[in-house]
Amino acid sequence: MANKTEERSTKKITQQDLKRLARIAYEDRKDLFKRKTETGTLYKDKLLCVALCQGAALHYLDGKNEIKDFDVWSFYKEHPKRPFPYRRNVKKDFGLPKFGKTRGAESFIGRKVDLLGRSIPYRKGQTAIKAVQDYVAYSKGLSPKYLRQKAIIILFPEDQLGKVIWPIKH
């Protein structure tokens, strides 16, 4: 039953689950930079943070919103030569059956993890979190529009694991 295909999951997301998502993103990044050497050269040292976003992030906060999949975003300082490949959306397996399976990804052991990335404006002296918050709050386009509708939870850097950066609490 735990590994059954379900539209959504209501299981609690733990710190260990966040660490697993961070590791999946790390492995994907490592593979990407190895295969796409120009992207690696431009962006391997420009990672600001990795975050769980949208519906699963909101579920982490409120326990009410159900998990359809995990949207994990890597945010990079923009490089003047070219943006990070913004259309890149890699699908990986969470690898554990805790949250059930995503409909349409029955070959996976666990829920689908969508890995996305963006290069975003970054001002000298600005924190990574502030750069992401500014991008989500003020940038035009569909990605920031969708990101601002739910929640954003830090996965990396590890010392910020689980920190809520969106919605902004004052």
Strand 70-77 versus strand 47-53 pairing type? antiparallel
Condensed to tens digits (0 to 9), the pLDDT of residues 15-56 reads 999 999 999 999 999 999 999 999 999 999 999 999 999 999
DSSP-based helix, strand, coil % in the chain, nearest 5: 35, 25, 40
As for how many domains the chain has, the answer is 1
Which structural domain, as residue segments, surrounds residue 128? 5-166
Separation of alpha carbons 43 and 58, rounded Å: 28
Q: pTM of the predicted model, to two decimals?
A: 0.94
User: pLDDT tens, 98-155?
Assistant: 999 988 888 999 999 999 999 999 999 999 999 999 999 999 999 999 999 999 999 9
Residue 117 contacts residue 42 (beta carbons within 8 Å): no
